[in-house]
Amino acid sequence: MSPFPSSAPRTERWHHLRFTAHDGVATVTLARPEKLNALTFGAYADLRDLLAELARERSVRALVLGGEGRGFCSGGDVDEIIGATLAMDTAQLLDFNRMTGQVVRAIRECPFPVIAAVHGVAAGAGAVLALAADFRIADPTARFAFLFTRVGLSGGDMGAAYLLPRVVGLGHATRLLMLGEPVRAPEAERIGLISELTDEGAADGRAAELARALADGPALAYAQTKALLTAELDMPLAASVELDAATQALLMTGADYAEFHAAFTEKRPPKWRGR
């Protein structure tokens, strides 16, 4: 995403989610606990636009995505989205489905790590939001369910058929997307769907701790690592190696690379500048 701003002013208030930022760490909270944080049209749009703004501003170096109350996110709101889509024509439905996919692309393409802090249910679109994150920190109450076939739709929604096989393998992905059965925390950890399993109630705190460590680290190196992980998923080895070489050559001209050498020589911790 381009860092160059347009004439559009910075958004001062997000109406469909809770957003805070401090010292390079952003926290986005899905805050409809009475609906298990079910997503609305506005929530999707806010997530899409917020991530784009943060990517342009370059003030955030790590982001935590969490849910208020008993769960992470139960997916699209049955009344506000599923009911409404039944009255839409094909063009409107395509616009809606493209928007949900844009949220996933924004998570994958933003130049900072995104950490999903998962407790309770992460279902449907909520499961895909967690899947798209760079890290999934979950406690033992977490359960993931890709429910799209349960409502008569393709399991490959919002990029799930692209991302999930690359995280857990084709066999597990086929089972999860075809059957829509819930995957509880122990199995999710076993198949690689969870990055780290915490004690009960500790996912938010651990996610914040990881975000702080990432924000204090070499931001440019993390951004380029994330970009390469995404870009090279579909590249042959020769192209990947060449892209790695070009990226490393550029980073070797940066301030952080020189700072590491100076810090090592002077026997002190490096002062990362993200440049």
The pLDDT profile of the chain, 275 residues, written as one tens digit per residue, is 566 777 778 888 999 999 999 999 999 999 999 999 999 999 999 999 999 999 999 899 999 999 999 999 999 999 889 889 999 999 999 999 999 999 999 999 999 999 999 999 999 999 999 999 999 999 999 999 999 999 999 999 999 999 999 999 999 999 999 999 999 999 999 999 999 999 999 999 999 999 999 999 999 999 999 999 999 999 999 999 999 999 999 999 999 999 999 999 999 999 999 88
- Asked if the structure places residue 12 within a domain, the reply is no
Question: 216, 240, 258: which is the final residue of a domain?
Answer: 216
CA–CA gap between residue 98 and residue 95 (Å, rounded): 5
pTM over 0.75: yes
Cβ neighbours for 234, distance < 8 A, ≥ 6 positions apart: none
- Give yes or no: residues 191 and 232 share one domain: no
- Stated as kind and residue range, the H or E segment containing 46 is helix 41-57
Gap between the Cα atoms of 58 and 164, Å rounded: 28
Whether 115 and 238 share a structural domain? no
For residue 249, give its domain range.
Answer: 219-266
Q: By the 8 A CB rule, do 72 and 111 touch?
A: no
184 shares a domain with 248:
no
Domain count, the chain: 2
